[in-house]
Structure 1
Amino acid sequence: MSKPKIKKRNSFARSDNPNSSKGTIYDPVASQRPVVETKLSQKEIDILFYDNKFCRRLLEDIARTAVKSGFRVKLSENTYDEDILKRWGELELDDYIVELLTMGQKDGISFLFPVIQGSGELTTGEELELNKISKILDFNLFYSRDLTNMSRKLDKMKTGYGYIKNCSFNNMYGEVANVMIDGSWLIEYEPFKRPDRFISNGVQYGDSYYKSIYDILLVKDNGIWSAGQMAYAMLLKYIKIGDQNKLDSVLREMTLDKFKAKKEMEINSSTLSILGKDDEIGSVNFGSGMNLKELKEYIYDEISIATGIPLSKLKGAAAGALASSTEDTKRWYEYIEGYQMDHLDEIIRKVLNLLYAEKGKLNTKFEIEFNSIRKVEAKEQAEIDKIEAEVLKMTADTLVALNNNMTDDSIKQALDTLKNTLLNKIKGEQS
């Protein structure tokens, strides 16, 4: 006797019950397929970054905060290289690194390229010989949109497996319109590498930061749009024109658009509904039980969970406001410290090797120690508090002077009350 066939489902979203609509075109929940890869075009990524301030700030905040605390270059147990950091500052590398990190997260990859003056012939298509570097003139960035081709080192038996072998870039305003650059010249930043990156026919480079949170960004955008629609609907006006025959006559003579344009001169007709005498207008209010504040909190909670960024930073809180929430502050610092080690350390290391080569100090051994972002932001907040206290004190002193010259009892009493309030606040700030 043969065993009955076991019907296997195609995916976890489907049911193995042939009578069930779960996971089929008739299932409204399954129309959002979690097993289908989100693919963002470069145009969509650009719109998110350049047209949406929240999406842009999200990436810039991470990059700027990671870089602003700075770092030290440790040569031995008690020796730190200040000269190399001076050279770092001369080349304005902080700004370049922030741009590299921001655009790498945005597009999936970005490249920092050194403009070098050499003691011998230097060809970008060949491996960079560090001993030939006589001076670093500047740095420039290549973006994903400049990339025309890229090849990786795919031999697992050799060192550097997975790293970039060479790239070809559009250079439309240069002397050469398309240039090939050996991977040894480039400091690449590819934060979200794809699993198929080492396959010859795989996608050339990693994914945008926005890809993993695209669904919740859509919810955020739709939530804001829906809130606007609800506010818009609250302003609905309607006009009744005689009976239906009269309405039909008006619309035949003028058309609906022309009639609305005419009314626009009299009233704002963007929320105007035109009805016949016996017509009725109605609606089904699905949003009556909706709490917009709770919807907003839900959206930010989901983005925070997906990214690891605390709520206060997502909402654009300043350092002082962030410091008011101990747990949020701790999470933000931990996020940045992890980002520095996972993303920034290797980039800095590659740049420093170039700067040491410029000084003729090849193969210099060093360690990178990031300065505490906690101390930097605490210092900034202390300076802000000091300025605010000084402003409050100046205001209080002015009020005291005014108070002493006032004769009207009611005005003097009001100034006394205001003075005492300010003085108490000053004492509270300084304690």
Structure 2
Amino acid sequence: MTTNIERAKQMRNDFMQGNGKGSEKDPLTRQTPSHRRVLSRQELKELYASNMIVQNIINIPAEDMTRNWFTLKMEDEDLKNAIMQKLRDLGAKEAFQDMRHFERLTGDGLISLGVTQSSPVELDKKIEYDKLKRLDYIHAFSGHKIEDMVTNKDVFSSAYGKVEHYKLPKTEGSDREKRVHESRLLHDQTRKLEDETKGQPLLEPLYDILTVMDTSLWSVGQILHDFTFKTYSSKDIEDMNQEQRRELGMLMDFMFRTEALAIIGEDESLTKQSTNVGGIKELLDYGWEMLSGATRMPKSVIKGQEAGTITGAQYDVMNYYSRIAAMQENEMKPQLEKLIRIVLWCEDEVGGRIDPESIDWEIQFNPLWEVDSKTDAEIRKIVAETDNIYIMNSVLMSDEVRDTRFGRYGLEETLAFSGDEAAQRRMAEEVYGKYKESRDEDG
């Protein structure tokens, strides 16, 4: 009969064996890198619910993408304010954060568009924009709510690979399949394998690394539990049977953990031992480096560093925010533009129906981060030294430097990063040029 100790040994024999990477006889040396782990809906739910590091990996990029939101650029201030107020009423910021959260967790994040139109709403038909009256609500949900997606498989079509219809589960009391036209949903999907309609959950390729990290946590816990222990030597031990040794061990373990005084015989000895932890830091760092590289998130961000603030040496964090800014531009911006176009087309929203193509408007995401005070001071010192060199060599005049650094548009305007530095520079140059012209006219 298998004892509890033997079962415990089997449970920790190979932490990767449950992923199908080895045989029972030789689990480690027969691992194959090609095996794919497919996580069920319940497994994804339990992995997310039971591990805070997993929650950080899923939640933090979604929060960073929407944390500072965006600014809508258009000439009509009243219209801009009306659109932004409508988005606040809809809870658009929270919905887009949830959509990205679901995309990372399940592979697909979606937002339903609840519209009212002058004609009957048919979900399987394309939205008729010239008949829209109101956008009543938006709801974020995961790909688990979708049974299937009908995509264009014609490689010679301009719409190749795009979703045409979504199949939803049958509603209670109905035996008919519900189909929804793609125009009635916003769909966020960034990881998809060819010939598969649904996206791949981020945790599937991370599963082995997360398992290693879970094992390292368990192992460190065991080391801490047994970091110091005592060794008791006595010649009487040899005459004891197994049951007597067990009882003595339990009694002495309790006494030596709770009492500061040990009473032993002349021929007995009691020594204190410590667990050797040499090299464990390198092993743990290796696990963190693998997790950081796989998630494309710095360790400090995964561990929950305060969002939006960095020091001068954190180039990895700067690169992370640069990547987030690119994701905003390439992945979230088209979805936001689609939502705003629908709001503009609605007859009863923001002052009447407006053709989005008839006006100039643009989404600009707000800066994601700022440097800390120490780094800010160091940057200012370097800039001051550079300016001094320019003045000494007659590249710039002192008045020009003073206007640039200490005028209305000073150094602090250059320390924020939005992902589009070229556009920021052009805007700053244009604004500063007009500001300087007005000063010249006044003076």
Cα separation, partners in 2 of 1:185 and 1:237, compared to 1, 3 Å: farther
CA contact (8 A) 2:112 2:186 kept: yes
CA contact (8 A) 2:98 2:141 kept: no
CA contact (8 A) 1:124 1:182 kept: yes
Q: Which residue of 1 aligns with 2:200?
A: 207
CA contact (8 A) 1:72 1:371 kept: yes
Structure 1: distance between partners of 2:48 and 2:93: 21
Matching of residues 54-65 of structure 1 within 5 Å: 54-65=53-64
CA contact (8 A) 1:119 1:132 kept: yes
Q: Which residue of 2 aligns with 1:143?
A: 142
Matched AA of 2:36:
E
Q: Which residue of 2 aligns with 1:425?
A: none
Matching of residues 22-41 of structure 1 within 5 Å: 30-41=29-40
- Does the residue aligned with 2:147 lie in a helix, a strand or coil? strand
| Aligned partner of 2:212 among 210, 214, 219 | 219
- Does the residue aligned with 1:156 lie in a helix, a strand or coil? coil
Deviation of 1:249 (Å) = 7.0
Matching of residues 64-83 of structure 1 within 5 Å: 64-75=63-74, 81-83=80-82
- Does the residue aligned with 1:332 lie in a helix, a strand or coil? helix
- Does the residue aligned with 2:59 lie in a helix, a strand or coil? helix
| Aligned partner of 1:349 among 337, 342, 362 | 337
Q: Using structure 1 for the length normalisation, give the TM-score.
A: 0.65
CA contact (8 A) 1:73 1:80 kept: no
Deviation of 1:370 (Å) = 1.5
Matching of residues 113-132 of structure 1 within 5 Å: 113-132=112-131
- Does the residue aligned with 2:63 lie in a helix, a strand or coil? helix
Structure 2: distance between partners of 1:291 and 1:77: 63
CA contact (8 A) 1:311 1:328 kept: no
Structure 2: distance between partners of 1:250 and 1:27: 37
CA contact (8 A) 1:59 1:102 kept: yes
Matched, 1:334 2:322: yes
Give CA deviations for 1:386-420 in whole Å, capped at 9, x if unaligned: xxxxxxxxxxxxxxxxxxxxxxxxxxxxxxxxxxx
Structure 2: distance between partners of 1:196 and 1:125: 23
Between 355-364 and 77-86, the greater mean CA deviation after superposition: 77-86
Structure 2: distance between partners of 1:172 and 1:245: 74
- Does the residue aligned with 1:60 lie in a helix, a strand or coil? helix
Q: Quote the sequence identity (%).
A: 20
Structure 1: distance between partners of 2:79 and 2:279: 56
Q: Which residue of 1 aligns with 2:166?
A: 167
Deviation of 1:72 (Å) = 2.7
Between 329-338 and 73-82, the greater mean CA deviation after superposition: 73-82
Gaps of 5+ in 2: 1-21, 258-273, 377-443
Q: Which residue of 2 aligns with 1:193?
A: 192
Structure 2: distance between partners of 1:195 and 1:67: 29
Matched AA of 2:339:
V
Q: Which residue of 2 aligns with 1:84?
A: 83
Matched AA of 1:119:
S
- Does the residue aligned with 1:141 lie in a helix, a strand or coil? strand
Q: Which residue of 2 aligns with 1:399?
A: none
Gaps of 5+ in 1: 1-22, 198-203, 270-284, 386-431
Matching of residues 12-411 of structure 1 within 5 Å: 30-75=29-74, 81-170=80-169, 179-197=178-196, 204-234=197-227, 247=241, 288=276, 290-319=278-307, 322-323=310-311, 325-358=313-346, 359=349, 360-364=353-357, 366-374=361-369, 377=370
CA contact (8 A) 1:356 1:362 kept: yes
Cα separation, partners in 2 of 1:249 and 1:369, compared to 1, 3 Å: closer
Structure 1: distance between partners of 2:100 and 2:309: 26
- Does the residue aligned with 1:35 lie in a helix, a strand or coil? coil
CA contact (8 A) 1:146 1:170 kept: yes
Cα separation, partners in 2 of 1:290 and 1:250, compared to 1, 3 Å: closer
Q: Which residue of 2 aligns with 1:428?
A: none
Structure 1: distance between partners of 2:296 and 2:206: 11
Deviation of 1:192 (Å) = 0.6
Matched AA of 1:296:
L
- Does the residue aligned with 1:188 lie in a helix, a strand or coil? strand
Aligned residues: CA RMSD: 3.9
Deviation of 1:187 (Å) = 0.6
Give CA deviations for 1:207-250 in whole Å, capped at 9, x if unaligned: 1112232222121111111111222344668999x879974677
- Does the residue aligned with 1:112 lie in a helix, a strand or coil? strand
Matched AA of 2:301:
K
CA contact (8 A) 2:110 2:186 kept: yes
Structure 2: distance between partners of 1:161 and 1:61: 33
Structure 1: distance between partners of 2:117 and 2:174: 19
Deviation of 1:33 (Å) = 1.6
Deviation of 1:65 (Å) = 0.9
How many residues matched? 328
Q: Using structure 2 for the length normalisation, give the TM-score.
A: 0.63
